[in-house]
Chain A
Amino acid sequence: MAYFLQQLINGVALGMVYGLIAIGYSMVYGIIGMINFAHGEIYMIGAFVSIIAFTLLGMLGISWAPLALVLVLIVAILVTSLYGWTVERIAYRPLRGSFRLAPLISAIGMSIFLQTYVQIAQGAKIKPLQPVVTGGFVFTDPTGFTVTISWIQILIIVLTLVLMAGFTWVITRTPLGRAQRACQQDLKMAALCGVDVDRTISTTFVIGAALAAVAGLMATLYYGVIDFFIGFLAGVKAFTAAVLGGIGSIPGAMLGGLVLGLAEAFWSGYFSIEYKDVAAFTILVVVLIFLPTGILGKPEIEKV
């Protein structure tokens, strides 16, 4: 029972990280109908900016954890959002209205470019981070098993819930959210009604990148090591989460992330850790075959 509980906690924390990245995929897909293949790299850049900011703060002598965390969070969000904006501006905007696969191929190119760029600029070695937040709660059950919930896991869960609440508010209550929902329904009609479509799409990429930055920061804290290659796997898994929840749906992305995180935690807890990535990919293939619209998605009808 205790073991089960431990895997549950690990899975929820992992799933929330996936969920945050998945929102970026889901929003972009909802509005312009493309898979932003470079989104995983945006997450990786978020993680790198975080580790660089932590190191810089350490060199400046700021070591009080809460202050350092807040500063790093702000820096990571700002820089990563700028990356998200630039990627959209350079690689996707000129291709709007082009044939269907062009933006996807451009996105793959962008993803390779960003990955190699970080590899060249920062080196190919893995980067270890000194633990910033340590400790947590330890529970012992009568049979002697212990269940640990670390401060980082609590931080991940709380921060994600706060972000989700804020994000839901933006989507449902603000003019920006209204413009986004309008674009999601019909780009051309939204433009005719006076919505600045280009600006809305840019904002969508910025928000997606900001959430990916938070995910990157939390993954850095959680795992303690990063390298330039983490974006690929995280990207594919987050995309799986987005599809699982129903692409285009934001609560769906979060739900999909949780399901995937739990599946992965239980799989590596009870079966084999080597095949945990295979499990994630298998879920993706199976979901796309049997439930192509996801859990909360709407079926897409193609009209002539």
Chain B
Amino acid sequence: MTTAVDRSARTASLITPLIAGRPGGGTATATPAAPPHASDPHTLVLRERALTARRAVIDMAATPTGCHLGGSLSVTDILIAALDRTADDPDSEVVLSKGHAAAGLYAALHATGILTADPVPHYGAASHHFTGHPGPSVEGVRFPTGSLGHGAPYALGWALSRRLSGRLGLGIAVLGDGELQEGLVWETFQVAAAQRVSNLVVVVDRNGGQNDGMVADISPQPQLAARFEAFGFEVAEVDGHDVGALRALLDPDRADADRPLAVVADTVKGKGLRPVEGKAASHYVTIDAARAAAWKRIVR
């Protein structure tokens, strides 16, 4: 576990440039230049971990129930980075608010070593807890999610509890961009900003897709980063598959921050699997064992 002093020391160097990059409040976002974690050996470990998780997700798509493949693959790198951040820190919590990416969560938890049981043989199966949307009976899952929007306020409450306890710790909510159509999340963002819960981190897995098609066709979200900033958040835009950049944003304990942080992470639905990358149809997929074997060979 990284000590509180270490994280506090890194806060200024990593987050300040994001704020300074928008003089006068014009441009809402900036991406951290040359994150120090990019070539870090641990980043390479996490990339390998993400590949392991993606293969597990493909295996879950080959179970009788199938799974939310596209959104699980888009969020994989975010979850791997976030869970690595919190794995040895009992005061920090990751909440996958886009609970339909349960397969991605189970795979990431298992790859990280938090979930000891292999979820693949039991995904969606009777008498097992690995349901299509995660609940607290699964090792490593604290809050039930799946009905969209609730994960953000859970994480907000967790973050506030750490602040009240005088402890350093983050509440990290991972949301989908389609999920931002839920009113509850904006209600939550309003409260978070008003209460200045600066140890809340909202990561948006902006993969551009949702159940019935593309977000841009159904309910577009122009100037998303600016929206967050208008709500009173610090904002960063990042490549959601750059584990090093994600680590750089999630690592600080934010003890010196005075606003919550929104990380708008651009991702690709079905990431790593060229046959389905960027396709709305990858939202929910059921495949056979032969296809799973083939896809696991080509996945990146």
A and B interact physically = no
A contacts, CB < 8 Å to B: none
B contacts, CB < 8 Å to A: none
